[in-house]
Structure 1
Amino acid sequence: MIHPYLECGQIVNTHGIRGEVKIVPWADSADFLCQFSTLYIDGKPVKVLNARVHKNSVIAQLEGVSDVNTAMLLKNKVVYIRREDANLPEGTFFLADIIGLDVVDENGVKLGTLKDILSPSRQQVYVVEGERQILIPAVPEFILETNVDGGYIKVRLIEGM
């Protein structure tokens, strides 16, 4: 089942004395998070009064948070967006939507299921669990097709993978 809300970041600290919070985004860019006028914290909608990118993070002024003490209460909270509020470009997808998909080779033979996505550096790595664990860099050389609606990811493996 596709969940209507997606984790998109975490409030890691306050910023200044007016109640702004610093959010580390769990998206491709901090700019993506700035496009939302409502975020969800603890299952409740919170209006975003102002948001800007600052050093790969988002500095946001949230409705009802006007001082540093109130902002401190939000520290370490996970921030969500509503899936239907996001406008994804054609051919892109949320990482949450591919976890659990079958992973098949070029001949359609099932290798396992996508269990996790690691981001050790700039490049993501897919963790596939099957008869054995396979780590696959998420680059076009290895990821041939991602079909969310069809429920599979087609990959090309090389010797040693």
Structure 2
Amino acid sequence: MEDLYQVGSITQTHGIRGEVKVFPLTDDISRFKNMKNLLLDGGKDGYISLEVENARPQKNLVILKFKGIDNINDIEKYKGQGLYVTKENRVELKDDEYFIADLIGCEVYVDTDSDKKFGTISDVMETGANDVYEITLENGKTVLVPAIKECILNVDIEGGRVDIHLLEGLMD
């Protein structure tokens, strides 16, 4: 199966007409309004393709209605299951925006002309002001690098490479 990216998970049903509450795994829940097709993890039934009929925010959740699912009994068994999109159906990003899933695993080099691998991005933390890349070094230790222009020199998702500049004090 092609690459799938989780965008949320069904927390519970909403009403009796087949709507569900979804906990979004995206930084902008308004993106659900533009999603047309989602894949539901149906467990042993595999992935189930669903067409989004309606999406609306409710506090920190999203209420979704899928075409053809008009009864609580048709969707209730999927509480707790994940909702996914294919790579082609991900939202368009602005310049200098990257999906966390694409960054994890990228090899990191200090400065753009270096051939010596510094480490690998093992996690991305969203702090509010800016993201922070957790880089696992070759010796197993980790370093946190802020995802700011002064530190991130170049990102090549296709090549799996990120070039960074280490600010003084990061390796102390």
Identity of aligned pairs, percent? 32
Name 2:28's counterpart in structure 1: 29
Runs of 4 or more consecutive aligned structure 1 residues displaced over 6 Å after TM superposition: none
> How far off its partner does 1:129 sit?
0.9
| 8 Å contact from structure 2 (residues 31, 91) kept in 1 | no
In structure 1, list runs of 5 or more residues that go unmatched: none
**Aligned residue pairs, count:** 159
Name 2:103's counterpart in structure 1: 98
Alignment partner of 2:132 out of 125, 144, 148: 125
Q: Deviations over 1:63-100 (max 9, x none)?
A: 34333344332221111012212341353432211211
What is the TM-score when the length of structure 2 is the normalising length?
Answer: 0.79
| 8 Å contact from structure 1 (residues 103, 155) kept in 2 | yes
- 2-structure distance, mates of 1:27, 1:100: 20
Aligned residue runs from structure 1 range 33-72, under 5 A: 33-42=32-41, 43-72=47-76
| 8 Å contact from structure 1 (residues 23, 59) kept in 2 | yes
Question: How much is the aligned-residue C-alpha RMSD, in angstroms?
Answer: 2.3
- 1-structure distance, mates of 2:19, 2:80: 14
Letter in 2 for 1:45: S
- 2-structure distance, mates of 1:19, 1:87: 25
Letter in 1 for 2:161: Y
Q: Which protein has the larger Cα radius of gyration, Structure 1 or Structure 2?
A: 2
- 2-structure distance, mates of 1:97, 1:4: 11
Letter in 2 for 1:154: D
- 2-structure distance, mates of 1:71, 1:139: 43
